[in-house]
A and B are shown apart, each in its own frame.
Chain A
Amino acid sequence: MQSNGVQVLQEVRAGRLFKDASTLRADSRKGLIRVIEREDGLISFQWKERATVQPDCDPETDIITFPGDAIFIKIPNSSTRSFMLKFVEADRDLFFWMQEPRAEDDAIRAEQLSANINSYSPDHAGEGQEEEAMDTADQAQIAEASCTGATRASAEEQAGVQAAQLAAALRSIGMPAGMEQGESDVAQLLSAMQQRRQQLPGPSLSEVLKPEVLLPILQDPTILQILAEHLPEGQRTQQDLENLVTSAQFRHQLDVFSSALRSGQLDLSHFGLDSQGSSVLDFLIGIQERFSQADKQ
């Protein structure tokens, strides 16, 4: 379901637990955990009270979660239906008790919550921004900065722009409960965002080696001469080569390879490359560094 460009990923009925010295005290109110994907593609973890007259009241808790920030798990050594949003950073944890009727499904719901708050949808960032109404001017700024195709800036530049806009927007809508507002926290956010951006998978080889990019390159006859031995027998003509790079089977293998590379299953040292990285970009840079002849041109 979509409203105002926000997509609700998951809802779980749950109440709050608050730390009271060494115990967790239950808040008796009926509540709802909701994980949403915002217009800018970021994930928000929210909690709101359920028994209000207006269905769309603002959540009491609204936290943006980046992949790797937190997981949703059962509270260790405690009663069966107590769960927590456990952050990697100290002192940010939040605690809940399940209010869904069937306790048997608690574990699955928790897994799904963890998966959702650790998800990232680069495809959505920038999609449909023009059509959706913006709540605040700052959110509009984030949307424009996220739209790809508007600029040929490098990945790092884009991340910097996004982070600055995000910081501005967060300041304007108010930080979520429990977080101190201050310049150092914003700086932390910025660097966290930069890090995330660099850790993101990057393009698949099938996107880099697109037919329209490859076909002009393949007009160089020496390429077929040298590479023919790596092609299957019976498919070693120029026409075969051109058919290959436009084929779905080739594209699929490039995707599979890129995925294996990204997952860390393929060690780049197998290719004689020094690179420690695991992205397609690292792979290409590794090859460039090893084989390009800097003394020519």
Chain B
Amino acid sequence: MSGSDAWTTIESDPGVFTELIEEMGVQGVQVEELYALDEELLMSLRPVYGLIFLFKWRQETDNRPTLNPEDTLGHIFFAQQVIPNACATQAILAILLNAGIKLGSTLSELKDFTSAFPPDLKGMAIGNSEQIRRVHNSFSPPQPIVPDEAKLAEKDDEVYHFISYIPIAGSLYELDGLKPGPIKLCDLDAKDEWLLKAAPHIQSRIERYAQSEIRFNLMAVIQNRKQVYSQQLAKLQQSSQSGEVHQPMDTDLAGGAASPADADSEMGRLMELIQQEDDKFRQWHEENVRRKHNYIPFVFNFLKLLAEKGRLQPLIDQAAASKPASFSHQEK
């Protein structure tokens, strides 16, 4: 299974996805995990390009009609999920390639090259993309300790499935790579907030799965928050310097700054948020460095050092006494 063209499993973690997106050449996008379907929280994260709902998959009856992909060629990028281990990346691509944002060369080329393909060929093109596969696989431990994936799958033989929710050209869609085509959920008026229209659909899934105790995650693909806050901060600094009467911002800020004192506290709040984003990205980067580093030489040399210092025996005794493990495969 571990051939040079295999896709490995990666963690479903916002830090992984954020760096994955960046390494595929897309700037200014990040992924946040949502632990509840909180409409206020969703609104505060705007602009949201799309939502990804992931859950442990099992057979379900779903008789909702799907659009004929031929009818939507050129408007909706819809690819079928061809490679199981790539499903996270495919769900992310489903959003990036439909969001109307600047894509960078790798993804722009992919989108153009496959624009006339049917969904299965689009899926295969993604699977065959060496660049995307290389970036995806980089988030798994490096060779030679990538085991036969089939063996790990035995122990935790549940498959995760990813569904993307995204507004495209005035309608809300559900994109599921295991279906033959996109599912249109509803039309969106100019004044509609698509997040609020998507929430009930996601909520009913959550309720359905919660009853069967199926675990799930919800992620939002959004504009880089530090960028958003920095822009807001810059505006505030500009207008307070020029002494203008400040306009309330039509964003998620609670009220608009209407006086110098308010402007100051608002700027303070934004700077704190920016600091939090910096801390979060630093933490994410640390974790990704660890994910990509092969620690076997470290472990071996550490154990060797302990043996030389006569400190290994207690660990051996402990290993001999403990009951057999159930290995946990770290995949959400």
Chain A residues close to B by CB (< 8 Å): 122-123, 125-126, 148, 152-155, 200-205, 207-209, 213, 217, 220, 223, 226-227, 230-232, 234-235, 243-244, 247-260, 263, 265-266, 271, 280-281, 284-285, 287-288, 290-293, 296-297
Contacts and interface: CB of A to CB of B under 8 A. Distances in A.
Interface stretch (B41-49, B182-190, B250-258, B292-300): B292-300
B295 A287 contact: no
Contacts, number: 150
29 contacts: A123-B326, A202-B322, A204-B325, A208-B319, A209-B299, A213-B315, A213-B318, A227-B301, A230-B298, A231-B298, A232-B293, A235-B286, A243-B286, A253-B141, A253-B294, A254-B295, A254-B299, A255-B327, A256-B145, A259-B147, A259-B152, A259-B155, A259-B327, A260-B145, A271-B300, A284-B319, A287-B307, A292-B308, A292-B312
B167 to A, nearest CB: 34
Contacts of B214: none
Given A125-B323, A208-B315, A291-B307, 6 more contacts: A148-B322, A154-B321, A203-B323, A259-B151, A284-B312, A290-B304
A148 B299 contact: no
Nearest to A156: B320
Given A227-B302, A256-B141, A265-B147, A293 B308 contact: yes
Nearest to B304: A291
B39 interface: no
A293 B323 contact: no
Interface in B224-264: none
A281 B298 CA distance: 18
Given A235-B286, A291-B307, A263 B147 contact: yes
A51 B249 CA distance: 75
A155 B321 contact: yes
Nearest to A283: B303
B325 A202 contact: yes
B77 to A, nearest CB: 32
Interface residues of B, number: 51
Interface in B263-318: 286-287, 289-313, 315-316, 318
Given A148-B323, A208-B315, A256-B141, A263 B307 contact: no
B327 A284 contact: no
Contacts of B328: 255
A254 B147 CA distance: 12
B263 to A, nearest CB: 38
Contact of A202 (B292, B315, B324): B324
A284 to B, nearest CB: 5
A122 B324 contact: yes
A295 to B, nearest CB: 11
- Main SS class of interface, A: helix
B308 A291 contact: yes
A247 B298 contact: no
Contacts of B302: 223, 227
A221 to B, nearest CB: 12
A254 B324 CA distance: 15
B330 interface: yes
A287 B306 CA distance: 9
Given A251-B330, A265-B148, A232 B290 contact: yes
B146 interface: yes
A249 B287 contact: yes
A258 B327 contact: yes
A208 B318 contact: yes
B56 interface: no
Contacts of A281: 316, 319-320
Q: Which 8 A-B pairs have the closest CB atoms?
A: A230-B298, A291-B307, A249-B290, A252-B330, A122-B324, A260-B147, A232-B293, A204-B325
